[in-house]
Amino acid sequence: MSVEQKNSNEKPRQNPYSGIIFGIILLLLLNGLVMPRLAEQRIIDTDYGTFIDKVEEGKVKQVRMEENRVFFSALNDEGEDEVYQTGIVNDPELVDRLLNAESPNESGGIIFTKTIPRESSPIINFLLLWVLPGVIFYLIWRQMSKSIQGRLGGGGNVMSFGKSGAKIYADSDIDTTFADVAGQDEAKEALNEIVDFLHHPDKYTKVGASLPKGALLVGPPGTGKTLIARAVAGEAKVPFFSISGSEFVQMFVGMGAAKVRDLFKQATEKAPCIIFIDEIDAIGKKRDSMSSNDEREQTLNQLLTEMDGFDGRKGVVILAATNRPESLDNALLRPGRFDRRIQMELPDLQGRKAILSVHLQKVQHEEIDIDLVARATAGSSGAQLANIVNEAALRAVRLGRDKVTTHDLEESVEVVIAGAQKKGMVISEEEKKIIAYHEIGHAMVAAKQTHSAPVHKITIIPRTSGALGYTMQIDSGEQYLMSRDDIFNRITTLTGGRAAEEIICNTVTTGASNDIERATKMARAMVTRYGMSDKYGMMALETVNNAYLGGDTSLACSDETAADIDKEVHRIINEAHDKARQIIRDNLDKMHETTGFLLEKETITGEEFMQILNDERDR
């Protein structure tokens, strides 16, 4: 096929600015019809005095007076006819001059007229001044809207008032199943009944049971709330409506409620289906005692009405997710709206193993010690574990390998926790020595205590998070309860770095800032929340807010008691610090030996540290 033939078969591409061009052409045409055309003959500008002189000299043939100008034809110095124009002047004697003046005309007098101004019809004025500009601007806006939508890959108008804006996925578009969700067995079991109801509704309606109208997914960020909602739709093979709570809140009053109505209308038409509202706390916050009529409250009221209005037997299920369940309105949480509350907690040891196995299936890897990686990632969410696996795969590629190893995963855990290594950072020998003693101090105190997690790794390589070194401890198994001795020993371990600086280096540095913060937080929790203080016993002195978003606390006691709490926290930390100092003094020789080995290697394993400590290392 020739180039000419190929081009002739192609569909002509529409110019995105054709509407704008059309509007401009239309405006020019109308302007040409309405405005008078300029005379083709050349018109010479002159002053009023020259006009009067030519009248008196008898050279003017014809005069036409308009509202602001005077046009006249007269003979020039060469005796040729020329057309002149001048401005109008308040001259009461002008008419008499024209009547009495001579002229080159055959009649002997000047022919003069005055143009009668024509007044346009009010209808024409309205069309020209208001309707026509509006039509032109509408055509331009419409064409620009289509052009923008075409570039963004969408269709229709730019603004769709009252439309829900929910992303609608057909049953064939969702390939996520419960097999893709690991570490949340209890949540899957609770939601599996909804899937079974959508598959076999007769089995339940025969008994008289109805489908739960809503299920609220509650948990920390990254635990898979959105993922499991998609998995429910994928298992049930029904359409899936996904929208964020913030999308309901609009600038225009009433738009949020209109979006809610449109969402439920579409869902009813496509039933059975699943509606998923992410971050529902954006519109579902508690209503206060003050009378309010704001946009968010109207949206919430409409949501409550819609959830009451539809029939659960039609197969419309509402799933919602939030990190702040304590902020939701009680009317939203009552049975009949959200009948079930499903906890999506951080995975335990077995859950982390399952999540790592799911994500490792997507990458090429050698035999992985999943148990070690799972123990090293205590407190990590599913999203963080997925990131750790991806970081390990990226590291393998950087090192020129095509398979991920356990060492890659261990390094990626450290990257996620402490940041990447800053190998180019120059640290003086004196500071490096202090950092090494600081980290060995942590490790020594941890190793010499009972109820303390074993040391896994010690390093003095700085990280991008700001850490100049760190000591990693990994529990041998999952720990669900912590005793008073467990917490106190952890505080003691945290103070070990500062104790080593004081005793061996005869100084204190800013390197203990994070240790101090964590030790203070743990000691305070012992007094205010865990009832581990002999002075206050089982008295709750502090409440936790936003447990899934950092867990900030607020005191629930008097100012005098708050001051006394500070003294009790100070006492606990001092006792732990004294214990750490004593351990360092009792093991000075081993402190020097292990620190020398760490300065030589920069990174040592917990096994190498324990070999030196137990005199098992080959000399």
Chain centroid to CA 36: how far? 58
Q: Which residues contact 81 (CB under 8 A, 6 or more apart)?
A: 61, 73, 74, 75
Nearest to 311 by CA among 239, 230, 171, 205: 205
Round to whole Å and give the CA distance between 186 and 346.
12
Instruction: Using only the alpha carbons of the chain, give its radius of gyration.
Output: 42
Closest CA to 280 of 267, 263, 293, 265: 263
Which residues pair with residue 603 across a beta bridge?
Answer: 459
Helical H segments across 167-254, by residue range: 185-199, 201-205, 225-236
Amino acid (1-letter code) at residue 387: N
CB atoms within 10 A of CB 126: 12
The CA distance from 462 to 475, in Å, is 24
d(CA 409, CA 380): 14
CA 413 to CA 305: how far, in whole Å? Answer: 47
Give the tokens for residue 224. Answer: 């898979």
| Residues β-bridged to residue 70 | 65, 86
Q: Of the candidates 264, 22, 49, 216, which has an alpha carbon nearest to the alpha carbon of residue 136?
A: 22
Dist CA 81 CA 216 (whole Å): 94
Give how far Cα 433 sits from Cα of 430, 455, 598, 602, 608, Å: 5, 20, 10, 11, 19
Catalytic-residue membership of 367:
no
- Note if the bond before 272 is cis, omega within 30 degrees: yes
Q: Among the options 82, 439, 568, 608, which is catalytic?
A: 439
Nearest to 304 by CA among 272, 279, 328, 331: 331
User: Chain-centre distance of CA 237, in angstroms?
Assistant: 29
Pairing of strands 81-87, 69-75: antiparallel
In degrees and rounded to multiples of 5, residue 378 shows phi and psi of: -60, 135
Cβ-count burial of 288 within 10 angstroms (0-12 exposed, 13-18 middle, 19+ buried)? Answer: exposed
Sort residue 56 into left (φ over 0), alpha (ψ -120 to 50) or beta: alpha
54 closest CA partner among 74, 81, 82: 74
Q: Give CA–CA dist 487/569, Å, rounded.
A: 13
CB 576 within 8 A of CB 492: yes
Q: Would you name the residues annotated as active-site residues? A: 439
